[in-house]
Structure 1
Amino acid sequence: MEHNFQASRQWERIQNRWITEDAGADLTRLKSDSRNFKLSLWDPATNGVRYLKTLAYNLGMALTPQELARISRTPNREVGGPTTVRCQGETLCLDYLQATFEVGFIESGVDLDGARVLEIGAGYGRTCHMIMSNHDLSGYCIVDLKNTLELSRAYLREVLDESRFKLIDFIEVESLTAASLRSERFDLCINIHSMTEMAPETVRSYLDLIDATCAAFYVKNPVGKYIDKSLDGYLQGEEAVQMALENGPLRQLLDIHDSEAVQAAVPAFVDGYRPGSAWTCAGDGRALPWSYLWQALYKKSRR
């Protein structure tokens, strides 16, 4: 039998284009350029979906039975055409993986059955969807900007049954006044990754509202700001970066991929999102899967 030790057509092409004769001449960028992207890694600039699916898959395979059951009880997750993987018999996307972590953290300190919930900035409504699919609430109130509110209204109408959808009040930010909602009472307020995008004085206004109306507060936001053009090449432009740096209660710069730097910023996070002096932090921790997002649950002392 004649042996064949020749390179395949695929690798002939790679040698001609990427791993060329002078590939070893300069090792400065070896592990972050096309040479290594053909040898060991996939280029993140062109393989974002591959890495997103890998992240979702690894998170999905590590889910506890309780986390998986929470997702399973949340119907119609396919609405909107998410990027998905299939793990342990369930179709999963990164949004609802995060939601089960968020709701699990909340459940550890707040009894949601029969609760009335206020959410400030609900996105398209994933957290509301999961909470209402897993608990019998007495009501849910979403406060948001007009266009985003219309998006969450449309999405939640699509994914929830009529009886649950009717429990939701949608309130436009533009209609809020200093006295708005002050006579209301909520068992829990939720804010996920939006106070960091508000002007500092707006955050303080919301924290005052939470102090006046809520018994518990769950927050998930970055521990600080960062400047790292390698992440997205400042796709939205320098002005967008500068606007982001102006907002939120925590505006110190840090290396968000340095665990010690993130941990050092945690005390300021816990203090910065505390609604008032009567509130204690019942628990806090890293918000998977992100390196720099932290979560905390506060409770108001009864007097």
Structure 2
Amino acid sequence: MPDKYGGSELWATYHRTRLTERAGRDLSGFKSAGVNFKLGLWNPQTNGVRYLKALIHNLADRLDDDGLERLRRIGSREIGAPIAVRVHGELVCMDYLQAVLELEFITRHVSLERSTVLEIGAGYGRTCHAIMANHDVAAYYIVDLPNSLELARAYLGRVLGDDFSRVRFVAADGLDAALGELRPDLCLNIDSFAEMDPDVVRNYLALVAGRCRHLYVKNPVGKYFDPGLDGHAEGRELVAMALRTGLLTDVIDIHDSEAVRRQAARFVAAYRPAPGWTDVADEWAPPWSYYWQALYRAGE
């Protein structure tokens, strides 16, 4: 007859393999190892998707009514089979959740109705999709490298419907000629200035200073060198390349809020397109601890 309050077969196995009799003899690292991964935490090395979904759920649950309405206006979000959860009846992935948060920040300070938008480095186009689903922009220009342009063209062609006719795709190597006399109301850069060679970033900022009325930037405030986060899985050479890119190459503790805030002042100064441009607003860009966002306006 089994013990009245005995353990299950599952926990008998854990006691043999993880929480052994020796577990209490060495407390030096048990909270970030196999013992605690069976007591209090899911092992992040094997439960990354579980943690990502938990993060998405918690962030999406904090959206206000306006944020949820912005999200609902963005159709066809399921294309591409994103890692997603369902909150308040809506399918939510991290990409479009961030797009909604970015849009909320931008539209607090700039009207996008009938505006012309220029995005430098658009990925597959989620920001363009979110903006065009929520605002009647006159034209949306995407500047990127060839392979990225092809992905964005294919994806936006699927999700935008008739609005696709207002999107222009411009190869980075022919940018000046392609833009002609264009004077965009807003230029966007989200998570790509930090991955460009510094001189290329400066060239883009000079272009913005000479053409645009506003600039929105969301990027890391600095670099990190912590093999504990990903084991440098993509190799030392790629890590070395990443440490050299962008304007902000200081290595900081990206999970120290005060270190990030101190570095944020350098972020705001680094991405100001030119003297005379005003920092309209800047703040932490959730959910990533070391990302900042800023909106600038050209001087009169």
Q: Same fold (TM over 0.5)?
A: yes
Superposition map of 1:243-258 within 5 A: 243-258=241-256
Q: C-alpha offsets along residues 134-179 of structure 1, whole Å, 9 cap, x if unaligned? A: 00111000000000010011000000112x10101100112235x5
CA distance in 2, matches of 1:276, 1:167: 29
Q: 2:198 maps to which residue?
A: 200
Contact 2:170/2:178 (<8 A) preserved: no
Partner of 2:164: 165
Give 3-state SS (helix, strand or coil) of 1:203's partner. helix
Deviation for aligned residue 1:301? 1.6
Q: Does 1:270 align with 2:271?
A: no
Partner of 1:174: 173
1:287-298 aligned within 5 A: 287-298=285-296
Distance 1:180 1:116 in 2: 15
- Could you tell me which amino acid in structure 1 is paired with residue 49 of structure 2? V
Question: Is the CA contact 1:182–1:213 (under 8 Å) kept in the aligned structure 2?
Answer: no
SS at structure 2 position matched to 1:176: helix
- Aligned partner of 1:23 in structure 2 is 23
TM-score, normalised by the number of residues in structure 1: 0.97
- 1:43 corresponds in structure 2 to 43
Counterpart CA distance in 1 for 2:6 and 2:74 is 53
Cα distance in 2 between the residues matched to 1:55 and 1:13? 30
Equivalent pair of 1:282/1:298 in contact (CA under 8 Å): yes
Alignment correspondent of 1:219: 217
- AA of the residue aligned to 2:192: S
Q: 2:25 aligns to what SS in structure 1? A: coil
Offset at 1:230? 0.7
21-30 or 110-119, which deviates more: 21-30
Aligned-partner Cα distance in 2 for 1:54–1:180: 43
Tell me the SS of whatever aligns to 1:21: coil
Amino acid at match of 2:4: N
Match for residue 153 of structure 1? 153
Per mean C-alpha deviation after superposition, the further-off stretch among 165-174 and 36-45 is 165-174
| Structure 2 residues without counterparts, runs of 5 or longer | none
Structure 1, unaligned runs of 5 or more: none
Residue by residue over 1:221-266, the C-alpha shift from the partner in whole angstroms, topping out at 9 and shown as x without a partner, is: 0001110101110011001111001110111110000011001001
Distance 2:218 2:15 in 1: 47
2:278/2:299 contact within 8 Å kept: yes
Match of 1:188 among 186, 193, 197: 186
Contact 1:187 1:214 in 2 (8 A): yes
2:208 corresponds to: 210
| Contact 1:270 1:281 (C-alpha < 8 Å) held by counterparts | yes
Cα deviations across residues 114-149 of structure 1 (Å, max 9, x unaligned)?
Answer: 000000000000010000000011100000000001
CA distance in 1, matches of 2:85, 2:243: 34
Aligned partner of residue 69 in structure 1, secondary structure: helix
Which structure's residues are more often helix, by fraction?
Answer: 2
Q: How does 1:82-161 map to 2 (within 5 A)?
A: 82-161=82-161
Distance 2:171 2:214 in 1: 22
Which whole-Å CA distance do the structure 1 matches of 2:145 and 2:111 have between them? Answer: 28
Output the CA distance in 1 between the equivalents of 2:180 and 2:213. Answer: 13
Identity %: 51
Distance 1:77 1:99 in 2: 12
Aligned to 1:75: 75
Q: CA deviation at 1:70?
A: 0.3
Q: 1:230 corresponds to which residue? A: 228
Q: What's 1:239 paired with?
A: 237
Alpha-carbon distance in structure 1 between the residues aligned to 2:180 and 2:294: 24
Where 2:75 maps in the other structure, the secondary structure is coil
Whole-angstrom distance in 1 between the partners of 2:269 and 2:3: 69
Aligned length: 300
Q: CA deviation at 1:95?
A: 0.7
Deviations 1:96-119 (A, max 9, x none): 110000011110111000000000
> Once the 2 structures are TM-superposed, how far is the Cα of residue 181 of structure 1 from its aligned partner?
2.6
Query: Which is worse superposed, 278-287 or 2-11?
Result: 2-11
SS, match of residue 71 in structure 2: helix
